[in-house]
Amino acid sequence: MNTDLLIVGGGPAGLNAAYKAASNGVKTTVIDKWFTLGGQLKQQTQFYNNLPHHFSKQRGFQLADHLVDRLKALDVWILENHTMIGAYQDGNVGVTDGSDTFPVNAEKIMITTGAMEEPEIFPGWTLPGVMTAGAAQILINRERVLPGERALILGSNDFALEVASQLHDCGIKVKGIVESGSELLCQNDELAVKMRDADIPVLLNSVIESATGKGEVEEVYVSTDGSKSLYDVDLICIAKGMTPILEPFEIMSCDFTYQAKLGGWLPRYDSTFKTTNPSVYIAGNAAGITSMGGILLTGEMAALSVLQALNATSSEKIEKEKQYLWDELYRIESTENRSVRDARLDVIKDLHYETGVQLPAYLDSVFGGLING
Amino acid sequence: MHIIDHPILEKDDRKVIQFYFNDEPLNAKAGQTIAAALMANGIKKLGVSRKLQQSRGLFCASGRCYSCFVTVDGLDHVLSCSTLVEDGMKVYSNLSDPEVRRGRE
């Protein structure tokens, strides 16, 4: 099949990009390996208060529905249950539905595969009942199934506390947040207050020593400053951060770089969100773990770059929109995750330095001293 | 166990369907994945690891970690987290190294 733009991954970044591209007349195809669109946004029941100005404040699953619904009126070809599994020698992308594989000929490809959760390894971590925090959240909010009755959360970042709070609200007794460091990683004070209100203890300087049980988790030893305590839990949720999903970029021979603040290894990209493969663009968490605002904005910016590359609309209009989007990205990442903002800029600057292509003027004005200094 | 009164989401009015796990009839809700339907019935152990035969269950729920294999209607090595349960489906634990599926010849 032929398409102008192939988007790999139908989460918030891909869906927002698809809307931008298709509403400007670009023939757009979205593939997603899952049986529904929306990605990990589908099971986010919390409110997003810090979204770009052109989105209203809403809960995650409502935002997912909105992003999917507004594509219906547009000419977007959506293939759920379809996975990118390779590239042909002529540059076509190999897509499969599990039984048939076919080539997709696309002018441009945008890869918005998001991120995966990092595991944390301890004796017994493979027992049933040990799962990622994201898995537990899928169970309660998408499947409406309780993954256990008594839980420990391993890790204390924002997502760890968000999931702890959601599990608690669904009736699960959360017996503790286990953090190896000497302070809570969560930057959101509201969530920290929620833990106190819900009587969920935060166990600092603590690690899970072992999880045991007959066929599933029954007992867990937590070591705090060297002293061991036994927890009677049947669920351990691991929340140790996320890292970009890279396989499709590897298939497309993109170059990679390492930025701990962005989640580890990620594809190199420039200020247009183009990777080192000139046909391949990137957005969302794949371009560095960020907030929901950052995910939406990078999707839109990458789509504008595709429009520009395909001469689909006036360059002047695009540059003006990009200026607004960069301002928004700067605003949101400055309040939510400043280190992500700076690390992202490092990635972009690094590639521009190598190619000798000048950074656009609006980037200079947005980041000001950051770029010159 | 199913969540009856979700603190945020609307009432769950999905149809109840029946499937089998190791020949035992179980209820599920239409639209659930196999892994979730089993979890709702208190079943967490979905199979064993290939070498040491240690218990395995749902880990990432996103189709990436490959910890949740089951056999579905005779087909080995099906990811229970990414496959929807169907009425009458016969699901078995993944208890041994499965046959590697070949392409069509």
The answer to whether residue B40 neighbours chain A at the CB level (below 8 Å) is yes
pLDDT class of A373 with cuts at 50, 70, 90? very low
pLDDT number for residue B51: 85
Q: How far is A129 from chain B (nearest CA, A)?
A: 7
The pTM score is: 0.95
ipTM of the complex: 0.95
Contact criterion met (CB < 8 Å) for A128 and B1: no
CA end-to-end distance (rounded Å), chain A: 48
Average pLDDT over residues A79-100: 96
pLDDT number for residue A47: 96
Per-residue pLDDT of chain B (105 residues; tens, 9 = 90+): 999 999 999 999 999 999 999 999 999 999 999 999 999 999 999 999 988 999 999 999 999 999 999 999 999 999 999 999 999 999 999 987 766 666 655
Q: State the average pLDDT for chain A.
A: 95
Average pLDDT over residues A326-347: 93
The partner residue sitting opposite A134, judged by closest CB among B1, B61, B63, is B61
pLDDT number for residue A371: 47
Average pLDDT over residues A138-165: 98
Residue A2 has pLDDT above 60, yes or no: yes
The answer to whether residue A203 neighbours chain B at the CB level (below 8 Å) is no
A219 CB contacts (<8 Å, ≥6 apart)? A211, A212, A213, A230, A231, A232, A233
User: Which of A144, A167, A61 shows the shortest CA–CA distance to B29?
Assistant: A144
pLDDT number for residue B24: 98
- Closest Cα in chain B to A46: B8
pLDDT number for residue B99: 67
Average pLDDT over residues A179-200: 96
Counted residue by residue, chain A has a size of: 373
CB pairs under 8 A between A and B: 105
Burial label for A370, CB within 10 Å (0-12, 13-18, 19+), is middle
The answer to whether residue B44 neighbours chain A at the CB level (below 8 Å) is yes
What the block records as the tokens of A26 is: 């670009």
C-alpha–C-alpha distance, residues A298 and A319, integer Å: 14
The answer to whether residue B38 neighbours chain A at the CB level (below 8 Å) is no
pLDDT number for residue A337: 84
pLDDT class of A372 with cuts at 50, 70, 90? very low
B24 CB contacts (<8 Å, ≥6 apart)? none
Beta strands in chain B (DSSP E): 16-21, 24-29, 47-48, 55-56, 69-72, 75-79, 90-93
The partner residue sitting opposite A216, judged by closest CB among B36, B44, B81, is B44
- Closest Cα in chain A to B44: A128
Per residue in A51-86, pLDDT (tens digit) is: 999 999 999 999 999 999 999 999 999 999 999 999
